[in-house]
Structure 1
């Protein structure tokens, strides 16, 4: 059915319509997108041949939609190019630009160069007619790049030259057209050659060069030989304008009348109006009035007809514009949705990355802290072992050796020697017990305060009096286990240091709580030491390290012969 309709449409269009309609209904009933596209395209070609442009435009648009659904880019481009031709005939250059811009996105490898050349040439025309000469030239140059033969390139160069003339770049136009003038007649038709010669004449005319007339007549001669009726109208008008500029009204009127007669025969309204305008300006007063009246009537009549045609075509064009805007909105929405999904995807990936990074960082930190804790424990254990070893060496080794030597060299049967040895052994035992207590586990439970009191009391004797104030404050305050141990060990270190170096007779230890801080003050009346002379490599280094570990502060207030004072403060 479709093939028969196509053949009838081509060879006998008068009887083709029923077959084309039948094919259209069949495709619609079957919801066959591809055949619907072909049926719409056949009907568009039919109405285009009948010069029913509004209906043809509508069907070309419908066919474009169906072929777009079937992803048949070649036929989409064909439909858009046909729509462009109709818009050009209606002087609708803005929509013409729009459909050709749309066509660019559908051009594929099929007829690629031809389609690009056509589309860019159409864009050049639409921009030229809307006075954007710079962009028009750009599109014409692109069209020329894709031109597949010399014939097409010559046509495009002639179009470029016409833009040069409109843009008052007359020398550029003359240079280009002079090259085209010598084009082999086997490449271009006589009709195209006449257009080139006529444009060259116009360019020379614009620069007031007498060679213009010769080119006008060369073009006229070719058009007469070719019986190019439409081309003859252009030649007559150019000659009429030329002679009018030379104030030769007789010849101007002669060619204007010829232009008017040919334009009337060809039903070319715009050229009739141009010819009448020249006749008005080149005729005697009475004739001028008559030509002016004819010009007025024709212009008024054609304005009315064109308005009706414009209104008739407006609905079709409105549907096209609406659909174009709707497609644009849908494309925008699709792009926005795609962008949103992409952003969500990227956000999800980023979130996963951040989570994995944080997990990895957590593992690294835990391992680092465990390693640090392990190293710290080893270091503390080593320090403790070193301290105990040093204590044993400094405080007991010599005494044990002395006791052993005494036992080996003295007569233990003598009562005095026996008592001396027993006294030395008792002293060694007592000091060994003290070392054991210093390094034993600390009770941090309910018995912490009594245990702390006992530890401090053990360092007192008949030579040193130890006074403790405010232990009830410590008893009534919740203190973390590690801080209890720290307080215990710090005071133990200070008391050991007191025993070794202070030479004091009185020690006062005071516990206070101010706001959220616990304060422990140690004071003795010993020999003291200048702050700059405090050797932190001794036991006092342990004191400082311990207080830093619980984010506390350690303050010394000392002077030689004025006792030893320490203030310890830490948060609770």
Structure 2
């Protein structure tokens, strides 16, 4: 049941069903290995990578045969690639290929070779990576591993996307064709992503939207249908059990007290299980709501930027069509309009580009904050060097960068502040950030969530805290506390 839920994209539901399977895992270690591996797959698809690695390692621990350890080991390597820990992934995959018994499992071996080649490519060893990815594809073709070849084509499409767009499109189209034949929706979407990013026809964008919308509806319907099936099945079992007990009670009056005791125990157990289920249900729902809130907020911001920028471009095009560009003053006006659009585009790019979390993190963070310094607003940055950024987790660095960026954007749009102070501090296990501006502020009860809610979700997901302090005409203050 859990595997069926995973195939249909219901990973949270799959984890709940796997929990129900745990009591039966004591029968055989292979059951426990399979359950832990499935837990790992669900967490990998939900991007909970540390939990995924934990479950894969648990699967390895209970595996009695060396060959049974290869699948979870390969899965750990895939997670490391997603985390950009390419050296760790390469070490694991090379170790798997050294296992002699593994030579008898051609399809699995081809998968490992492909992942190893992809890891080499991501590390920058392009020639070695391309050789292994092509070797894997040939092996899959020879052994009629049609489904496995999809992953090979997708990896090759990503490889060529930086050097040969035509080849990248060829590989992506091949992956799309096979995925369509096998009705593999997620792989079709990945292939369309490469075709769109490579600048292919608009039709691929339309296909992506149509397929994505369709699969969301199908999977949502599946979740509801699956929950009802489980409910009906449990209800039928309970009703049959009650009927049997009632018949037994009628024919065996002397055992009435015994059956009453059984019913009492069943009732208490059912109540306990119901409370446990409700707790997990609401925890999952709150998590999904937070993710959805962040997604909706970012989508809204992206739409607003797109619409506003599109209006400027349209107005400029109209201006060129209705004015004589031979006139110097009109040419100057056109140049000013284009320069304004160029500045807007650079601003958008700066706010959404990748964050350098390596050695230049403090400098990049300071430069990002300083870009909001202008003739109307003075930005003061204190003690940024006081924090040892090398000791801080990479995800937390990205979180801090994005939260401060959103604070600065919020200040620029709403605050009308002339002075902004961002102060950093640190102790042994925690670092602190205090943001203060002298803008117009607002009543706490009337704070518009949107971006502020997004900031709060980011900080809470990294186990930090964030508090907002503001009053009308008394500025805006934010205090962030984050464990290292």
TM-score range, shorter chain: 0.3 to 0.5
Structure number with bigger Rg: 1
TM-score by length of 1: 0.39
